[in-house]
Structure 1
Amino acid sequence: MRFHTEPPTRSFGVVRVEGGNRWARLLARLAGFPPPMPQSRFRLDVAQQGKGHIWRRVFGRHQTRSHLRFDPRRGRVVERFGVVELELSVRVQQGAMMVSVEQARLFGLPLPRALCPESAAMEFETSQGHLGFDISASLPRIGLLVRYTGHIALPELNLRR
């Protein structure tokens, strides 16, 4: 939670990316998600913009960009990837931060639950004191779109405080 309150402007780590079937990979590419790749270098750039932050994730040579902000009225995090906007709920469970998709919009229009992406996302402290992550997105009837796992080193942010 401290990381999200005061995110560093640039962080480095490693990541591994998995993809789904042919249709899922096509949809993931259209959404701007990275292609499957073995363990690769990872960089996260965070910049303040308005009441939120631009997150630029660099997976090897691929970039994924989103805008995150907190909506106090709904009590949810809102993340926008191009024309897709996700409302996310956050909870802490056994020391890990768990993130779930609660609602999705395409071009500003709410998607029915049957078309809403599902997420199994968590962030946690690794045994080395890094910020670990396991992020995945899937669609009903299509399956896994993308899953990326890894960690970023945060020497300037002492997670153990």
Structure 2
Amino acid sequence: MRDAFGEIIAAQKLEVPPALLRFHAQPPERSQGVVSVEGGNRWARLLAGLAGFPPPMPQSRFRLDVAQHGKGHLWRRVFGKHQTRSYLRFDARKGRVLERFGPVELELAVKAQQGTLVITVEKASLLGLPLPRALCPESASMEFETPQGHLGFDISARLPRIGLLVRYTGHITLTELNLRR
């Protein structure tokens, strides 16, 4: 079953590289790779930690577990020894991906740009209450196919007046999906 990104790729007929198309069409239950994590100032790290994001770390092992749950998927990201969980689903009425981290829900816009899947936060809510733009996280996140045929990612979140909360970059190895073998 397609994940939320696969649903939006299909609904909007986005042109994305084969590795992304196949991954999101039927995400593996477990993927592994490497990741590096950056953090912001001490206030940003405190907020990122409260939201469940990993602390800064040099290149480390990364694992992504994806499990279907209701009309969406649970994503568990394992950064070394740290775990971050979220629930993602596609909202066809809004044409957006909704991602929930505990009491925070993000409304994500997705577009394809020069072979990259670009993901931006459009709205956020806390306990179902919309957050004002000044408290809404900003994102410059993307997924792409690496030269080795793996799923590369560069995910970041910032808060106005606080700065960088977290940025993690790396890739997950898509051995079973590698189209360049």
Please list the CA deviations of residues 72-124 of structure 1 after superposition, one character each: whole Å capped at 9, or x if unmatched. Answer: 01000000000000000000000000000000000100001111100010000
**Is the CA contact (8 Å cut-off) linking 1:58 and 1:64 kept in structure 2?**
yes
Distance 1:52 1:20 in 2: 31
Structure in which a larger fraction of residues adopt strand: 1
Partner of 2:144: 124
In structure 1, stretches of 5+ residues that fail to align are: none
Greater helix proportion:
2
Aligned residue for 1:143? 163
Matches within 5 A, 1:7-86: 7-86=27-106
User: Which blocks of at least 5 consecutive residues in structure 2 are unaligned?
Assistant: 1-19
Name the CA distance, whole Å, in 2 between partners of 1:115 and 1:16: 26
Paired AA for residue 67 in structure 1: Y
Superimposed CA distance per residue, residues 33-61 of structure 1 (whole angstroms, 9 cap, x where no aligned partner): 00000000000000000000000000000
Separation (CA, whole Å) in 2 of partners of 1:102 and 1:141: 18
Aligned-residue sequence identity (percent) comes to: 80
Q: Is the 8 A contact 1:13 1:42 kept in 2?
A: yes
Which aligned runs of 4 or more in structure 1 are off by greater than 3 angstroms? none
Letter in 1 for 2:50: L
Instruction: Output the aligned Cα RMSD.
Output: 0.9
- Rounded to whole Å, the distance in 2 between the matches of 1:11 and 1:141 is 35
Residue pair 2:29, 2:67 contacting (<8 A) in 1 also: yes
Q: How many residues align?
A: 160
Distance 1:137 1:4 in 2: 22
Amino acid at match of 1:123: E
Q: Is the 8 A contact 2:98 2:108 kept in 1?
A: yes
TM-score normalised by structure 1 residue count: 0.97
Equivalent pair of 2:156/2:168 in contact (CA under 8 Å): yes
CA contact (8 A) 1:125 1:159 kept: no
Provide the TM-score with structure 2 as the length reference. 0.86
Q: Give the structure 2 partner of residue 90 of structure 1.
A: 110
| Matching residue's letter, 1:137 | A
> Secondary structure at the residue paired with 2:176?
coil
